[in-house]
Structure 1
């Protein structure tokens, strides 16, 4: 019997499946800790924007969008709606594509 016949088929991704693949959500949210006090407001805004961009980048990768060119603003915003995150700004969408670019 050929070796290829013994290998199990990989699970379909968003791009190869006949119907959309459901995104997996974590079983329990991670316990939130307070952010350090005394930083400028801009630091908190940037920190939260990075966290949101990382969540969106992970959700896009899980759904089969692997290249930054595939992640247009509309795709990122529809993914945000799907995972229950407020619609991202243009800056956050740019940051999502940057995360996808530098993960390679």
Structure 2
């Protein structure tokens, strides 16, 4: 038999199948900061002071929890005030420190 009788198929370079563009991570849009709404008017001054105190205590409690302070015994006034200085807010009063500890205690 002749070699020409057993003809080899010509080899062509294999092209990969067309792929669609897939990303492994979904694109996440950055959060837009929430628009601040003005506080309601006509409230007594004590209401505004209490409201702002609660907001400050919440920010401090979150910062303390992020640093590993999970029990009220770990959060004396000095630690709370040091955390306030670290996150850039005014030192809290004794009342605000008590409120921070109550938020940590209730968050179990």
TM value normalised by structure 1: 0.71
What residue number does 1:52 align with? Answer: 56
1:28: Cα distance to partner? 7.0
* Equivalent position SS for 1:53: helix
The reply on whether 1:97 has 2:104 as its aligned counterpart is no
1:30: Cα distance to partner? 3.9
Q: 2:46 & 2:80 partners in 1: Cα distance?
A: 24
What residue number does 2:44 align with? Answer: 40
How much is the aligned-residue C-alpha RMSD, in angstroms? Answer: 1.4
Alignment equivalent of 2:69, drawn from 62, 65, 72: 65
Q: 2:55 & 2:79 partners in 1: Cα distance?
A: 18
Structure 1: gaps of 5 or more residues: 1-26
What residue number does 2:88 align with? Answer: 84
* Equivalent position SS for 1:80: helix
1:29: Cα distance to partner? 5.3
Change (3 A) 1:28 1:65: farther
Q: How many matched pairs? A: 78
Structure 2: gaps of 5 or more residues: 1-30
